[in-house]
C-alpha cells in the first residue's frame, strides 16, 4: 500500500517547524518526555506565534514513539487545539546500524512508523548519523569537527540496506514514505552513495532527504550543490531545508561556512526545488536553522518557500 499522490500549492504545502532549538533535558534535570501538557503548550506557543501551522517534533526534543498511549493522545490533542498538524516525524542520531544500540534503534524506528500512522503523519525521516562526540559538543559549530563515520564494510552496508528495506516495507503497508537523511561520513554522505543506497533498498516509498545543508557546511572540499541535487532529485522525499554561506580560498585551502537564511546561502533553493518538482516531488518540508533565534529564521524561510512553490497543482504528474 502506498499513499495517494498529494496535490499541494504554495498556500497549503506542509512546511513544518523543527524543534532542534529546544533541548530534551530541562534546566531542572527533567526530560521533555515527562513534562506536563501545560509545559508542552508553553513551548508549542512559540511555534504558533511564529506563524507555523505544522511542526515536526523531532525526537531530539520529544520522542513521540516512546510516549504512553494516553500521553501521546494528550500531546496530539494539544497540537490540534493550537491549530497545528504533524505531517512527518524525524529521528536524529538513532542509527539502526549503531554498533551498540542498532537493534534497539531498529525496534524504535518501527515504533516511529506506527506512531506516524496513529497521528496521521505521512512521512518519517531516518539517518545513519550517530551521537555527537565530546569534541563536537565543545565546538562552536559541531560540523567543524569530525564525528563518527559509517564503517567501510560491505557487510555493514548490506545490513543497513536490509534494515531500511524492513522499515520501508512496514511503512509501505501503512501508506507512509521513508526519507533517508543525507549526512557526512555516512552511507548517505554523498549524492552518489545516497542514490546507490536507495536503489539497493529498491522500494518506491523509500527515498532521499536531500538535506544538502548538512554537506555544504563542512570545512572540506565538497561537490557543488547543483551537481548533488541533480543526482538526488529523482529520489527526493520529505526534505529538511537549511542553508549556509560558504567561502573557499583556493590559495590557502581555507574553507569557512556559516548558517544563513534559505534565500541568502549558497544553495539556490528556487532552483533546487524546481529540480525536485520536475520529478514529481510531493512531500512536506522541514525548516531548520542553527544559531541565534532559529525558530524566527525558520519562519522567514517558510515564507520564502511559499513565495517560490507552485501557484497551482499543474506540476503534479
* CA–CA distance, 220 with 256 (Å, rounded to integer): 9
For residues 178 and 211, is the Cβ–Cβ distance under 8 A?
Answer: no
* Phi-psi map region of 292: left, alpha, beta (phi>0 left; psi -120 to 50 alpha): left
Name the grid cell of 191. 549524492
pLDDT digits (tens, 9 = 90+) for 155-211: 999 999 999 999 999 999 999 999 999 999 999 999 999 999 999 999 999 999 999
Name the grid cell of 224. 557543488
Residues with pLDDT less than 50, the chain: 1-3, 315-317
* CA–CA distance, 301 with 18 (Å, rounded to integer): 12
**DSSP structural state of residue 25:** B
For residues 243 and 298, is the Cβ–Cβ distance under 8 A?
Answer: no
Confidence (pLDDT) at 7 = 81
Helices (H), the chain: 37-49, 69-81, 102-119, 134-138, 154-173, 191-201, 213-216, 225-232, 269-277, 294-308
Q: What is the pTM of this model?
A: 0.95
For residues 176 and 214, is the Cβ–Cβ distance under 8 A?
Answer: no
Name the grid cell of 208. 532521499
- Three-state DSSP class for residue 290: coil
Confidence (pLDDT) at 71 = 98
- Three-state DSSP class for residue 148: coil
* CA–CA distance, 102 with 95 (Å, rounded to integer): 6
Confidence (pLDDT) at 313 = 65
**Which CATH topology does 15-308 take?**
TIM Barrel (3.20.20)
Amino acid at each position: 500500500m502506498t499513499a495517494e499522490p498529494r496535490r499541494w500549492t504554495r498556500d497549503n504545502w506542509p512546511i513544518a517547524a523543527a524543534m532542534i532549538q529546544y533541548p530534551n533535558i530541562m534546566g531542572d534535570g527533567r526530560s521533555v518526555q515527562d513534562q506536563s501538557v501545560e509545559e508542552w503548550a508553553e513551548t508549542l506557543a512559540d511555534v504558533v506565534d511564529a506563524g507555523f501551522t505544522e511542526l515536526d517534533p523531532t525526537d531530539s526534543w520529544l520522542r513521540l514513539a516512546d510516549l504512553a498511549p494516553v500521553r501521546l493522545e494528550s500531546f496530539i490533542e494539544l497540537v490540534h487545539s493550537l491549530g497545528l498538524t504533524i505531517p512527518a516525524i524525524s529521528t536524529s542520531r538513532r542509527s539502526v546500524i549503531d554498533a551498540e544500540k542498532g537493534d534497539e534503534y531498529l525496534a524504535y524506528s518501527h515504533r516511529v512508523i506506527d506512531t506516524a500512522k496513529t497521528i496521521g503523519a505521512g512521512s518519517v525521516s531516518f539517518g545513519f548519523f550517530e551521537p555527537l562526540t565530546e569534541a563536537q559538543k565543545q565546538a562552536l559549530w559541531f560540523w567543524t569537527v569530525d564525528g563518527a563515520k559509517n564503517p567501510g564494510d560491505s557487510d555493514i552496508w548490506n545490513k543497513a540496506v536490509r534494515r531500511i528495506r524492513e522499515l520501508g516495507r512496514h511503512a509501505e503497508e501503512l501508506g507512509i514514505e521513508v526519507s533517508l537523511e543525507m549526512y557526512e561520513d555516512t552511507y548517505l554522505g554523498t549524492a552518489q552513495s545516497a542514490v546507490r543506497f536507495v536503489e539497493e533498498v529498491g522500494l518506491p516509498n523509500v527515498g532521499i532527504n536531500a538535506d544538502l545543508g548538512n554537506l555544504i557546511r563542512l570545512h572540506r572540499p565538497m561537490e557543488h550543490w547543483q551537481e548533488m541535487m541533480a543526482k538526488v532529485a529523482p529520489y527526493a522525499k520529505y526534505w529538511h531545508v537549511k542553508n549556509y554561506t560558504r567561502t573557499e580560498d583556493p590559495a590557502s585551502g581555507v574553507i569557512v561556512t556559516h548558517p544563513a537564511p534559505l534565500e541568502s546561502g549558497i544553495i539556490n533553493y528556487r532552483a533546487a526545488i524546481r529540480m525536485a518538482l520536475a520529478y514529481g516531488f510531493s512531500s512536506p518540508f522541514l525548516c531548520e536553522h542553527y544559531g541565534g533565534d532559529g525558530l524566527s529564521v525558520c519562519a522567514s524561510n517558510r515564507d520564502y518557500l511559499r513565495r517560490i512553490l507552485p501557484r497551482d497543482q499543474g506540476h503534479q504528474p
